[in-house]
Amino acid sequence: MKSVIIGIGNPNFKDDGVGLKIVENFQGDVDKVTLLNIGFNLIDSLLGYDKAVIVDGVKTGKEPGSIIEFDVDFWGDVYASGTHNFSIFEIIRIGYSVFPDEMPKEIKIIGVEVEDVETLSRECSPAVESAIPKAMLIIKEYLGIN
């Protein structure tokens, strides 16, 4: 089974870089893609995989560092942190509409609740930083990585 982890964010805006940091921690276990923002490039990153995980900072009103798991059938109104231009959910829906046979059969979105996406810093806030190992365990379990 061919799998990919896609991290989204801007590493220069504190917690907005959490998705990138999580993906960087995977070494050789799975294909990795990092995106500074999303558009149709997200679809390109998903094509040809059986299973995908998308990791991003989110703002849902929960406690910073909380991990929220979304399946692709969730089309709610969730703010993806930072500099993103399009809804992740809408882009995925377009991908399935245009490329139904090439899109992954399974996609999970892992969101880490952010605290600060405006401060210029390459370091996440402590609560968000502490969520990285837990998010990695969730991803490993989902993808069947040891």
Domain 3-143 has CATH 3.40.50.1450: yes
- The share of the chain scoring above pLDDT 70, in percent, equals 90
Query: Helix/strand/coil (H, E, C) string of 28-47?
Result: CCCEEEEECCCCCHHHHHHC
Domain residue ranges of the chain, discontinuous segments joined by +: 3-143
Q: Note the pTM of the prediction, 2 decimals.
A: 0.89
Average pLDDT over residues 79-105: 79
Average pLDDT over residues 21-28: 92
Average pLDDT over residues 81-107: 82
Between CA 9 and CA 134 the distance in angstroms is 18
Which of helix, strand or coil describes residue 142?
helix
State the DSSP code for 15.
G
The string of pLDDT tens digits covering residues 43-71 is: 999 999 999 999 999 999 999 999 999 87
**Predicted local distance difference test score (pLDDT) of residue 79:** 47
Averaged pLDDT score across all residues of the chain: 89
Using the structure block, give the residue that is written with the tokens 């998010």: 135
**133 vs 83, residue with greater confidence:** 133
- C-beta of residue 94 within 8 angstroms of C-beta of residue 39: no
Average pLDDT over residues 3-14: 96
Q: What is the largest CA-CA distance in the chain?
A: 41
Using the structure block, give the residue that is written with the tokens 């379990």: 141
Query: Which whole-number Å values give the CA distances from 66 to 26, 59, 126, 136, in the listed order?
Result: 20, 10, 12, 13
Contacts of 68 (CB under 8 A, 6+ apart): 58, 60, 62, 110, 111, 112, 113
**Predicted local distance difference test score (pLDDT) of residue 134:** 97
